[in-house]
Chains A and B, each alone.
Chain A
Amino acid sequence: MLTESTIEKLRILTESAKYDVSCSSSGTVRSGKKGMVGNTVGGVGICHSFADDGRCISLLKVMLTNYCMYDCAYCVNRRTNDIKRATLSVSELEEIVMEFYRRNYIEGLFLSSGVVRNPDYTMERLVRIAKDLRTIHRFNGYIHLKSIPGASRELVNEAGLYADRMSVNIEIPKEESLKLLAPEKDHKSVYQPMKFIMQGVLENKEDRKHLKHVPRFVPAGQSTQMIVGATAETDKDILTLSSALYGQPTMRRVYYSGYVSVNTYDPRLPILKQPPLVRENRLYQADWLMRFYQFKVDEIVDDAHEQLDLDVDPKLAWALRHPEQFPVDINKDDYERILRVPGIGVKSALLIVNSRRFNRITSYHLKKMGVVMKKAKYFITCGELTNLFSGPIIGVNEIQPERLRPLLLSSKQKKEMNERKQLTFDFGD
């Protein structure tokens, strides 16, 4: 039975879990079964609410316990921090999950835990909860389990039978930075369980080819997260690693978490007044370009551009660096080329290639289809925006990228830029 103390425990353990960004309930479609509660819808998943910070709430994101034997500098739950500690009992947690689910509050559970005694001991307790939910409570909804770094292969394999998705967080992209902030951890302890999960999925795929009734193993694949702004890594380091991770067959999502200064007393960490939200946003945009827009990582960042441009989005930044790729002819060029035009997304690109078989597309059509013409008009030719009929068009090559760039900034951005210029003006001694 739940009491007042449960409420307090849930509060403490939620506050400990909230810095983990992963939230999605996507990647697997499983319809309801007789005698079981729940289904999973696939697609982009379902977000049941949005917290006051604008982040979605899809799964019940909670820690089993926030006691932890490690002392990682970036983590709010590090052993030397003086915060309230709590542990939810197995039955309490299971009851909360089931009752929340039945009220349509959540899509399922995202369970992680501080490491107590040793990785295997902790992992075993996570697996036990997932198993109970599936076998005793007949829960058929979404389960996302954190794989504890350093956990044994047997436990990861067992967890995979009950979980839809598993994740191990890389947190810090470069090993030397990780060593500095978390001396007790190394990259091997992260990549090892990742490999276990991948092998499990691939073996399971092979087995399912021969035997129909083998249950699926981690059907929604795995995800990971990197902290942005706590260490000196450049966007190039981060995105190159993401791109390599997406090259693995089971990696579905890489999350970026703008560092929130939680342990301000630690001299190894920068003191940020505000989490680097714009940078985080640009990283996600770059991530989208790699996953949905067929961009390669070295097109987004290279040695000359190690950091993403904070003022313009990475697609526009790419277009301004490559004026020779434009203009794109909306009525003739391939889907892939149309997708590269700033202001045209996947949705409008599909509408364009479907419609242009009927008649010539003009800028009127593009506007109706939802293309952001304010940006796109400098990079395209279409029905009437051609140099054949109406004289010279004014595009990126005519204006020159460096003069076009300020035209595409919002007035707020321009004001900020002017302020920055004034502040950095050096009068000398």
Chain B
Amino acid sequence: MIVYTFDRTLNGLLSAVFDAFSLHEMPEALLGAGDPLPLFYDRIHEVVTDEEKAHRVWTGLEKKLSSRGLHVISVSYLSELKELDIHLFKYICKVFKYTGALSLERNFSDEDVLFCTNTCRRVHHEALRMKQFLRFQKALDGTYLGVIHPDQNVLPLVIEHFQDRFNDQCFLIFDARRKYGYYYDKQAITRITFAEGQALPFDLETGKMDEQLLAENDKIFQVLWKTYFKAICIKERLNPKKQAGDMPRRYWKYMTEKQ
């Protein structure tokens, strides 16, 4: 059994594909560096991430797949799912080996193709949930702050939507799980991180902005929204199961109406 280890980046994975083809071998496992190794194995190959190799593999993929197929690869990778690595790796290898006239990306009876396509769908689903459930609070200086905690790294997928929608307001959207965010200043978007130990202007646990920074009218709109949320419910039709299905509880902690 041949084991490949890599740095769990997309470029690393593409480099692994390159190595597999140049060494004429097919690894059975693809692990992150430092992951526990399987009990028995013949040989470990440590993949060194190489921009040049990754680029060559990607250009090769561009010739073999439609833009939709490339989209599946790059978006599914945002899921950060460990299980995905080997499926994606095998999928890419199959694409290069396939010689038929059809486009392999549409063979959903293939386990790897289906897994990557479904993962891509799941990532998009969570991206939609961020568009739905993100809540902004307004600060004294007019900046809007929204904190999210998605399971998958979907922030890059949704930022354009918010920029398009709120193009005349400054806002900061922060991913509390991955500790980075995007700031929009009515001109451009910048990626920001807070240094270790630096004081955050909000509470990571609740997503609430510090009281003294909050715009003076923000409280009343929070109250109005909570009032609306309660009033719109028809008590004869209570259905907490459906509510939790459409709006999973793990997102509630940052949502104004559920705080």
Residues of A within 8 A of B (CB): 2, 6-7, 10-11, 14-15, 17-19, 31-32, 34-39, 41, 46-57, 60-62, 96, 99-100, 102-105, 141, 258, 260-261, 274-275, 277, 351, 354-359, 361, 365, 368-369
**Total residue contacts A-B, CB cutoff 8 A:** 165
Q: Which residues of A contact B132 (CB under 8 A)?
A: 46-49
Q: Select one of B166, B233, B247 contacting A53, CB under 8 A.
A: B233
Q: Which residues of B contact A53 (CB under 8 A)?
A: 233-235, 237-239, 243
Chain B contacts with A in 170-220, Cβ cutoff 8 A: 217, 220
Q: Which residues of A contact B231 (CB under 8 A)?
A: 10-11, 14-15, 18
- Knowing A50-B242, A57-B229, A103-B225 touch, does A2 contact B108 (C-beta < 8 A)? no
Give bound CA distance, A62 to B236, whole Å: 20
- B117-134: contact bitstring with A at CB < 8 Å (1 yes, 0 no)? 000000000001001111
Q: Select one of B104, B243, B255 contacting A54, CB under 8 A.
A: B243
Structural contact, B237 and A275, CB atoms closer than 8 A: yes
- Knowing A49-B257, A357-B102 touch, does A102 contact B169 (C-beta < 8 A)? yes
Structural contact, A359 and B232, CB atoms closer than 8 A: no
B side interface size, CB within 8 A:
59
Structural contact, B133 and A48, CB atoms closer than 8 A: yes
Give bound CA distance, A356 to B134, whole Å: 40
* B111 part of interface (Cβ distance < 8 Å): yes
* B137 part of interface (Cβ distance < 8 Å): yes
- Knowing A32-B165, A103-B137 touch, does A46 contact B146 (C-beta < 8 A)? no
* B138 part of interface (Cβ distance < 8 Å): yes
* B35 part of interface (Cβ distance < 8 Å): no
Give bound CA distance, A358 to B106, whole Å: 9
Q: Which residues of A contact B224 (CB under 8 A)?
A: 2, 6-7, 10, 96, 100
Structural contact, A57 and B240, CB atoms closer than 8 A: no
Specify which of A53, A104, A359 lies most central, judged by the most chain B CB atoms within 10 Å of its CB.
Answer: A104
What's the nearest-Cβ distance from chain B to residue A199, in Å? Answer: 32
Q: Pick 12 A–B contacts, CB within 8 A, sort by A.
A: A7-B227, A10-B227, A11-B227, A14-B232, A18-B231, A52-B239, A54-B243, A102-B144, A102-B166, A354-B106, A358-B104, A369-B109
* B81 part of interface (Cβ distance < 8 Å): no
Q: Select one of B131, B235, B241 contacting A46, CB under 8 A.
A: B131
Structural contact, A54 and B246, CB atoms closer than 8 A: yes
Structural contact, A50 and B135, CB atoms closer than 8 A: no
Structural contact, A10 and B228, CB atoms closer than 8 A: yes
Structural contact, B236 and A361, CB atoms closer than 8 A: no
Residue of B nearest to A351 (CB): B108
Structural contact, A275 and B164, CB atoms closer than 8 A: no
Q: Which residues of A contact B243 (CB under 8 A)?
A: 50-54
Structural contact, A49 and B133, CB atoms closer than 8 A: yes
Q: Which residues of B contact A37 (CB under 8 A)?
A: 165-169
Residue of A nearest to B258 (CB): A49
Q: Which residues of A contact B239 (CB under 8 A)?
A: 52-54
Give bound CA distance, A52 to B239, whole Å: 6
Structural contact, B225 and A105, CB atoms closer than 8 A: yes
Residue of A nearest to B102 (CB): A357
Specify which of A15, A51, A99, A369 lies most central, judged by the most chain B CB atoms within 10 Å of its CB.
Answer: A51
Structural contact, B234 and A49, CB atoms closer than 8 A: no
Give bound CA distance, A2 to B238, whole Å: 31
Residue of A nearest to B222 (CB): A103
Residue of B nearest to A57 (CB): B232
Q: Select one of A14, A102, A141 contacting B136, CB under 8 A.
A: A102
Give bound CA distance, A261 to B236, whole Å: 9
Give bound CA distance, A258 to B239, whole Å: 14
Known: A37-B166, A60-B228, A359-B107. 13 other contacts (CB 8 A): A7-B223, A41-B161, A48-B132, A51-B232, A54-B243, A103-B135, A103-B221, A104-B134, A260-B237, A355-B109, A357-B107, A365-B109, A369-B109
